[in-house]
Structure 1
Amino acid sequence: MPKLCKVLVSLFIILVFAQCLSSQHEPSENFDWLVGKWQRTNEAHDKKTFEYWVKIKDTEYAGLAFTLQNNDTVNQEKMVLSKSDGSWQLKVKTPDEPDFIAFEMTMMKDGLFECNNDSLAFPKKITYWRDGEKLKANVAGDSLQIPFEFSEIEK
């Protein structure tokens, strides 16, 4: 093979390799996979838990979670997933709290995120992810973990 052909082949291989490296992208900051109306499938038989998520804008999603027992609301949370100053946060507010409690996003992949607040006794970590058609979440402290599994009931 002539010397020029070897140089061109080598250059081509380097360019293909560089393109492969540059095509590895950062995780998407799109959380549209949360959007919808969800019902918890691993709930106690006498309760029904729901989460509703809507997209407000590209950098903000709002959620409402509530649990019914005998048609009475026994638990409720408002949630906001938003980006501010280049960082994502999950903020959670229960009726007992005067303000939202912020959890900093510490991990993000396509279809998954994890948020932490080590200043709390429980929860310290909240994780959400998609598993096929299911929405899953885990709320964890030092020794306690509560898994959530949801099926979509309406978009």
Structure 2
Amino acid sequence: MKRLTLLLIISIFFSCKKTEDTTVQKVETNKTEFDWLVGNWIRKNDQDGKQTFERWEKKSNTEFIGIGYTLLEKDTVWKENVRLSKTDTLWEFAVTGKEDTQPTVFKLSKVDERSFVFENNLNEFPKRIEYTNKGNAFSAVVSGDGMTIPFEFEKEN
């Protein structure tokens, strides 16, 4: 009888043991260093008569899609598509212009909570693209071979 009682206690103990709940899914954070980029932006230091815009949306934690374009009155005089994406551990900034068939790819060289830099030293111009978060505004600087072009954007409401 003692053996039976002991066996019963042991079986109850093991049957009550906690197991991993397989119905609970692990939640991945949706935050990245680039989330602040999402939204509609208008350039504030444009040439007279021109209006430049950037629009960014987040497709996933590893992909953002952007479009930049400039209007002269009602005509689009410049346009580019941008894909900011991560493959394995490497972030890329791929730019396809209006007349381009293949994107120009820049590799991430620096990132923190306020800014990021992508570079492609083989590209004619620019060789470097830098974005800096300023809250409801951001600056973008394209540069290379001694030439620098600053862009100042504000978030549209």
Common fold, TM-score beyond 0.5?
A: yes
Give the share of equivalent positions with the same residue, in percent: 38
Of 119, 133, 137, the match for 2:136: 133
Check the 8 A contact 1:115/1:127 in 2, yes or no: yes
1:5 — aligned with what? none
**Corresponding position: 1:51 with 2:69:** no
Check the 8 A contact 2:130/2:141 in 1, yes or no: yes
CA RMSD, 1 decimal: 1.1
TM-score, length basis structure 1: 0.79
Q: How does 1:1-155 map to 2 (within 5 A)?
A: 29-154=32-157
The alignment partner of 1:110 has SS state of coil
The alignment partner of 2:156 has SS state of strand
Per the TM alignment, residue 29 of structure 1 is displaced from its structure 2 partner at its CA by 3.6
**Structure number with higher relative contact order (C-alpha < 8 Å, ≥ 6 residues apart):** 1
d(CA) in 2 for partners of 1:70 and 1:50? Answer: 13
Structure 1 unpaired stretches of 5+: 1-27
d(CA) in 1 for partners of 2:114 and 2:81? Answer: 21
Per the TM alignment, residue 85 of structure 1 is displaced from its structure 2 partner at its CA by 1.8
d(CA) in 1 for partners of 2:112 and 2:60? Answer: 20
| Number of residue-to-residue matches in the alignment | 127
Q: Greater helix percent: which structure?
A: 1
Whichever residue aligns with residue 75 of structure 2, its letter is D
Check the 8 A contact 2:33/2:112 in 1, yes or no: no
Whichever residue aligns with residue 139 of structure 1, its letter is V
Whichever residue aligns with residue 144 of structure 2, its letter is G
Per the TM alignment, residue 106 of structure 1 is displaced from its structure 2 partner at its CA by 0.2
Whichever residue aligns with residue 92 of structure 2, its letter is Q
Check the 8 A contact 1:30/1:58 in 2, yes or no: no
The alignment partner of 1:120 has SS state of coil
Check the 8 A contact 1:39/1:153 in 2, yes or no: yes
